A and B are shown apart, each in its own frame.
Chain A
Amino acid sequence: MVKSYLARRDFDFLKYRRRFLLFALCVILVGVVFNVVRGTKLDIKFTGGAMLKYSYSLDNTVSDSDVSASDYMKLDKTAIAGMVKEVTGQDSTITIAQSASAEGGVKNTITISMSGKKTMDEDTGDQLAEKMTAEYPHVDFAMIESNSVDATTGSEFFGKCLMAVLLAAVFMILYVALRFRKIGGMSAGVTAIIAIIHDCLIVYFTFVAFGFSLNDNFIAVLLTIIGYSINSTIIIYDRIRENREVMGKKATYAELANRSLNETLGRTINTNLTLIVAVLTVVIVAFIYDITSIITFAVPMLAGVIAGTYSSMFISNSLWVSWREYRDAKLAQKKLSSFSKKK
């Protein structure tokens, strides 16, 4: 039986607020370093370009007693890049991967990406397969995926995606402004938005760190996280507003925030836990079956959910308390100085 692990609810979160903020800053710093080292990759959906993916296997004319299968299956990347150059006149990047297949066994795939302005035409896939079969007569190649995007379409799509993010940001800010008029005003609204920016950065850095190229999945994850992360923050601030009425003016900001955090802790942890469990399951299964389109979707989503949990619990409140205390201190100082002047 699960005992209520949160029965004792009087953690002093705000005591460690400097550490929480510092930790977030460190993570972001690591992300920046990654970004500088690895750079940002844009998908061909944004830049234009082409991708071809083949699965390959040994054909049945080769008996086991022949040279070991792995020798036949060894593809030479430079030779294949040469063939691509012959067919399309373009440079290419080639990746070879193995993954589990649903029917059991191993699936070998080779992916060829080109990022030229001129995209390939519909015959390229077949022509290349022919050339590769000529070079590796005992290997069967089957084209399983192809993608060719025009550079203009790509840049327009990129613009559209950026617009979508901007649109979502504007709507969220409007919603926050509307909602926070009652909750905590400017200070709460701004800190909530800082928390969202933190989450978006983490999603972005996840793409960079894993070497995923930014594509429409990135935009989808970004928007989802923006929509999701704001909720936890709003719920906690809503509790602060409620508790202000209960606890009165005497309670310090830290006390207020602490109590509200503790009271909503069950919800915060459990909701995020269930979501993390759901996304993590998808991540694990997608990795086992090597479903690229889902991996590049679910991994950043997982990072975003974790970042969202962290930021709503530790970042927005910590900043809010500091902001309020700083302002009060300033007000007090002002009063004091004007008082001493009078004297």
Chain B
Amino acid sequence: MKRVGKPWFFVVALLIFGLAYTSFFGVYKQNGDLQETIIRGAKDIRWGTDIQGGVSVTFGPEENVDATNDQIESAKSILEIRLVSSGVTDYELYADKDNDRLLVSFPWKDNNSQDVAGTIKSLSQSAELFFIGGTPNSITITYNEDGTKTVTDETGAECDIVLEGKDVKKAESGYISNDNEFVVSLELTTEPAEGEELSGKEKFAQGTETYLNKRISIWMDDVCLSAPTVNNVISDGKAQISGSFTAESSKTLADNINGGALPFKLVTIDYSSVDPTLGTDALQAMLIAGIIAFALICVFMIAYYRLPGVVACICLLGQVAGTIAAVSGYFSVFDSFTLTLPGIAGIILSVGMGVDANIITAERIREELRKGKTLDGAIKAGSSNSFSAIFDSNVTNIIVSVILMGVFGPPDTVWSTLLTPFLWMFGTSTTGAIYSFGYTLLVGVILNFVMGVAASRIMISSLSGYKLLRGRRLYGDYSEQKKREIEAAAAKAYTKAHAERKEAAEN
């Protein structure tokens, strides 16, 4: 490698500082009142539920029920609608079709009630809407193995279903000022639903005819919403549900009807929740730990390795900044990854490991200098000799991080697909926390190649072009200084002896 031109140090260093600044603080454009994100900073990072607080739930069908892939897929999209309609946007939702599992996790919103039980229930409620002829005291919905449903009343007799959720085209909440009442208006389908003969409009017309002057009860799951008396045949495909609704409850009901009923009953299999206060403490603690660890390593590197040590610190800064950029997505068009506590530990760990590349190179340079090579020769030899060792340490770490991401990551990622031949017999078990650790470790290792190897070499080589920075001591070789010290001591001893001799002769 020829010595790199002098200005290159500044080019590389400026690039790294630029990356560090932008990835920590972000770049935003003020567009009137709106702030547009051009580059995401650290504050735009999506924190995992262990930091921000939140809920993770695994849902599945009831025991002995085998859901089809289509059913799982439709349950997934219904959950999606429910999450969005309740204002949660940064959720993670995965479907594991092989094991009939749906995995949801999302952070608490700032002013959320943090009601774990309520949140889980509102997500997993079946949202089955039924118009039933007559007024049973209670109903039980049974899901049959062939995907159909049977509704029975308290005596076990099958109910006459006039209308169900899938016959509804659109539900809307509204307010009737005359009655001072909130209602949910339904627009019924004009085409028959799949596997049915009649459309919603036709069914309702028929039903209202059958039950003219009798009562029809309206149920959401096993809760009776209202039981109006049918006064005339309704054939325009419009229906209305009234009850004791509030503005909020009528909207929720309309949302649930629009979202559709789940194709099977969702059972909570596993769940976990973390309070936001717990996570904020932990995040602060990890930030403190990260800053202290980084500072200690920098002090050590500069004190021990001098000039290559300074270069190593700049490289480490670049590595951390690059990892943060890879987590936040940096440019707003890219996806961002969730950062968890073990993920932060992974960043700190990869700083501790990443410095290895710089240490190996600096040690080699020092060694070559001690052997008596010239500075340029030592830098060249140090760089080329150390490559295989650095490569080794990175290969094993890459293998490990890929396994970690494949095992603990969500299904449908490259990593888990890569490991499917080995892990197909086990169910999905997302441990987002460890997945994030694998990711930061992997990114750290890859960046270590970019920073610890390429950037650091360019910087050292370019710096060594400055006369001021060519002192061998700056690279950790004290042998010359020692030689000079010995020479000086010898000279001193010689003059002393000479003086003594002179003195003796004079006497």
Using a CB–CB cutoff of 8 Å, the interface residues on chain A facing chain B are 1-4, 7, 45, 55, 101-102, 107, 119, 121-123, 125-126, 142-150, 153, 156-157, 159-161, 163-164, 167-168, 171-172, 175, 179, 216-217, 219-220, 223-224, 226-228, 230-231, 234-235, 238, 263, 266-267, 270-271, 273-279, 281-282, 284-286, 288-289, 291, 293-294, 297-298, 301
Chain A residue numbers with a CB within 8 Å of B234 are: none
Chain B residue numbers with a CB within 8 Å of A298 are: 345
Taking A274-B352, A298-B345 as given, write out 14 further A-B residue pairs in contact, using a Cβ cutoff of 8 Å, ordered by the A residue number.
Answer: A122-B117, A144-B275, A145-B278, A153-B429, A157-B427, A163-B426, A168-B400, A168-B403, A216-B408, A231-B393, A279-B349, A281-B348, A291-B282, A301-B345
Chain A residue numbers with a CB within 8 Å of B401 are: 227
Give per-residue flags for B394-413: 1 if the beta carbon is below 8 A from chain A beta carbons, else 0.
01110111011011100000
Q: What is the minimal beta-carbon distance from A282 to any residue of chain B, in angstroms? A: 5
Contact B278 A144 (CB under 8 A): yes
B272 at the interface (CB under 8 A from A): yes
Q: What is the minimal beta-carbon distance from B453 to any residue of chain A, in angstroms? A: 15
Docked CA distance A175–B404 (Å): 18
Docked CA distance A118–B220 (Å): 29
A-B contact pairs, 7 of them (CB 8 A): A150-B270, A216-B433, A217-B342, A228-B396, A238-B392, A291-B286, A294-B286
The B266-316 residues at the A interface (CB cut-off 8 A) are: 268-275, 277-278, 280-282, 284-286, 288-289, 292-293, 296-297, 300-301, 303-304
Q: If A145-B274, A150-B269, A167-B419 touch, does A289 touch B285 (CB 8 Å cutoff)?
A: yes
Chain B residue numbers with a CB within 8 Å of A223 are: 400, 403-404
Contact B396 A230 (CB under 8 A): yes
Instruction: Name A160's contact: one of B348, B407, B478 (CB within 8 Å).
Output: B407
Docked CA distance A272–B348 (Å): 14
Chain A residue numbers with a CB within 8 Å of B388 are: 238
Q: If A144-B274, A147-B272, A148-B272 touch, does A288 touch B426 (CB 8 Å cutoff)?
A: no
Q: If A145-B278, A148-B270, A228-B353 touch, does A277 touch B429 (CB 8 Å cutoff)?
A: no
Contact A286 B285 (CB under 8 A): yes
Contact A175 B396 (CB under 8 A): yes
Docked CA distance A266–B269 (Å): 52
Contact A144 B393 (CB under 8 A): no
Query: Which A residue sits closest to B408, measured CB to CB?
Result: A216
Q: What is the minimal beta-carbon distance from B224 to any residue of chain A, in angstroms? A: 22
Q: If A144-B277, A216-B434 touch, does A294 touch B345 (CB 8 Å cutoff)?
A: yes
B389 at the interface (CB under 8 A from A): yes
Chain B residue numbers with a CB within 8 Å of A263 are: 367
Which of B278, B284, B366, B433 has the most chain A CB atoms closer than 10 A to its own CB? B278
Instruction: Name A159's contact: one of B406, B408, B426, B478 (CB within 8 Å).
Output: B426
B249 at the interface (CB under 8 A from A): no
Q: What is the minimal beta-carbon distance from A71 to any residue of chain B, in angstroms? A: 26
Docked CA distance A236–B461 (Å): 27
Docked CA distance A338–B427 (Å): 61
Chain B residue numbers with a CB within 8 Å of A148 are: 268, 270-272
The interface size of chain B toward A, counting residues with CB under 8 Å, comes to 77
Contact B117 A291 (CB under 8 A): no
The B117-158 residues at the A interface (CB cut-off 8 A) are: 117, 120-121
Contact B352 A153 (CB under 8 A): no
Q: If A153-B270, A157-B426 touch, does A278 touch B437 (CB 8 Å cutoff)?
A: no
Contact A4 B289 (CB under 8 A): no
Q: If A122-B116, A157-B426, A274-B352 touch, does A288 touch B367 (CB 8 Å cutoff)?
A: no
Give per-residue flags for B379-396: 1 if the beta carbon is below 8 A from chain A beta carbons, else 0.
000000000110011011
Contact B284 A278 (CB under 8 A): no
Docked CA distance A208–B288 (Å): 28
Chain B residue numbers with a CB within 8 Å of A238 are: 388-389, 392
B50 at the interface (CB under 8 A from A): yes
Contact B400 A226 (CB under 8 A): yes
Contact B407 A267 (CB under 8 A): no
Chain A residue numbers with a CB within 8 Å of B366 are: 266
Chain A residue numbers with a CB within 8 Å of B275 are: 55, 142-145
5 nearest A-B residue pairs (beta carbon):
A278-B352, A227-B400, A275-B352, A144-B275, A160-B426
B334 at the interface (CB under 8 A from A): no
Docked CA distance A235–B277 (Å): 45
Give per-residue flags for B2-25: 1 if the beta carbon is below 8 A from chain A beta carbons, else 0.
000000000000000000000000
Chain A residue numbers with a CB within 8 Å of B419 are: 167
Which of B33-41, B253-261, B356-364, B495-503 lies on the face that meets chain A?
B356-364
Which of A216, A271, A278 has the most chain B CB atoms closer than 10 A to its own CB? A278
Q: What is the minimal beta-carbon distance from B342 to any residue of chain A, in angstroms? A: 6
Contact A270 B292 (CB under 8 A): no
Docked CA distance A74–B440 (Å): 43
B355 at the interface (CB under 8 A from A): yes
B423 at the interface (CB under 8 A from A): yes
Chain B residue numbers with a CB within 8 Å of A294 are: 282, 285-286, 341-342, 345
Q: If A144-B274, A172-B396 touch, does A278 touch B300 (CB 8 Å cutoff)?
A: no
Contact A273 B300 (CB under 8 A): yes
Contact A121 B403 (CB under 8 A): no
Docked CA distance A209–B228 (Å): 68
Contact A157 B50 (CB under 8 A): no
Instruction: Name A146's contact: one of B271, B353, B363, B425 (CB within 8 Å).
Output: B271
Chain A residue numbers with a CB within 8 Å of B269 are: 150, 153
Q: If A143-B116, A145-B274, A160-B429 touch, does A293 touch B352 (CB 8 Å cutoff)?
A: no
Give per-residue flags for B186-205: 1 if the beta carbon is below 8 A from chain A beta carbons, else 0.
00000000000000000000
Docked CA distance A7–B478 (Å): 9
Q: If A163-B423, A168-B403, A227-B400 touch, does A289 touch B274 (CB 8 Å cutoff)?
A: no
Contact A175 B399 (CB under 8 A): yes
Chain A residue numbers with a CB within 8 Å of B359 are: 266-267, 270-271, 274
Q: What is the minimal beta-carbon distance from A63 to any residue of chain B, in angstroms? A: 26
